[in-house]
Amino acid sequence: MNNIWGDMAQYDPVVWNWIIAVYLFMAGLSAGSVLIGIGMRWYSKDKQIESAILKASAIIGPVAITLGLACLVFDLTKPFHFWLILINYNFDSVMAIGVAALLAYSPLGIAYSMIVLRDELPKWKLGFLVPISHMLMPFRTMIEILLFVLAVGVGAYTGFLISAMNAYPMLNTAILPALFLASGLSAGAAGNLIVALTCFNSTSHDDDVSKLHGLDLPVIITEMMFLVMLFTSLYFTGGAAAQALASLTQDIWASVFWYGVVGIGFCIPILSMFLPSKARHTKAMMLTVACCSLTGVLALRHFIIYAGQTYIS
């Protein structure tokens, strides 16, 4: 429809697009992968051996966050001025706090990877890094603890980032950081499993791999619970918040939620648990289920970003 007051394109409430959704996914994947890798090391009996899961997380952690940050930088309208955000900080802003956290998290993640992958580096023609690995070895425990704490921060930060906007009732909820942290763990577990099985020749019967597999159900149930809490709080808040519930029944994002998040992300992994033990523990089945989990988490980030911004207070 023509109007007399001008172009309406700038007033579209959906400001952040799929690139941001991919960044949120990558940050969650990186943080979740690191949390699971380090967490499982702390609970393992033999700490001298670098497990395949830990090696997988040493790859996913830095790679995913680097790709995510690349998405973020090239989504800026002034990508070549991104360095300004590294020297100017407004600590009222969740984004500035996130930048500070990522500034510590990314190099620490790379340092920790060099420690964990020290025996692998020569095989990838990165042998020249081995002396650095040995130099870092004495600080391993410190780096590990710091990285773990920062990973919790990074995982939750992506939720805080978008829940800080009270213009959007569906995003402006307390549960979002927790939901993103939980779904990040789910993505991290799936990612670690895929890399461990394909790159580090672990078998589907390894102790670590089955332990990791056992994490699936509790994490999925937690995520489902958080989603129910999110929608319930919207319903009882009423007004604009309750109207945002239409995102569950209308438009493309309803399909993304029900088919992507619930169908692929939750139902397939849960249903796979009812398969006979033999079929369930094949490599192919485990990889399929892990890919479904990853797809579900990616779909969740898209649903939250798009549906969340569609409804405005």
Which one of the spans 75-83, 230-238, 250-258, 271-279 is the region binding another protein (CB under 8 A)?
75-83
Which one of the spans 60-68, 87-95, 205-213, 252-260 is the region binding another protein (CB under 8 A)?
87-95
| One of 7, 45, 205, 274 touching another protein (CB under 8 A) | 7
Looking up tokens 């967490």 gives 39
171 touches 165 (CB < 8 A): yes
| One of 76, 174, 217, 284 touching another protein (CB under 8 A) | 76
What does the block give as tokens for 56? 């997988």
Looking up tokens 């360095």 gives 83
Assess 2 for contact with another protein (CB under 8 A).
no
Residue among 53, 64, 55, 52 at smallest CA distance from 27:
64
> What number of other Cβ atoms are within 10 A of residue 137's Cβ?
12
Residue among 152, 164, 150 at smallest CA distance from 95:
164
53: left (phi over 0), alpha (psi -120 to 50) or beta: alpha
| One of 84, 103, 145, 271 touching another protein (CB under 8 A) | 84
Assess 9 for contact with another protein (CB under 8 A).
yes
Helices 175-199, 18-43: axis angle to 10 degrees equals: 70
Question: Among residues 127 and 239, whose Cβ is nearest to another protein?
Answer: 239
Q: How far is the CB of 9 from another protein (least distance, A)?
A: 7
Cα gap 304→312, rounded to integer Å:
13
34 touches 187 (CB < 8 A): no
* Binding pattern for the stretch 161-180 against another protein, x by CB under 8 A and - elsewhere: ---xxxxx------------
Residue among 72, 61, 73 at smallest CA distance from 28:
61
Assess 236 for contact with another protein (CB under 8 A).
no
Question: Among residues 145 and 167, whose Cβ is nearest to another protein?
Answer: 167
Q: How far is the CB of 242 from another protein (least distance, A)?
A: 15
Assess 94 for contact with another protein (CB under 8 A).
yes
Site residues, another protein (CB under 8 A): 3-7, 9-11, 13, 15-16, 75-78, 81-82, 84-85, 88-90, 92-96, 99, 164-168, 309, 312-313
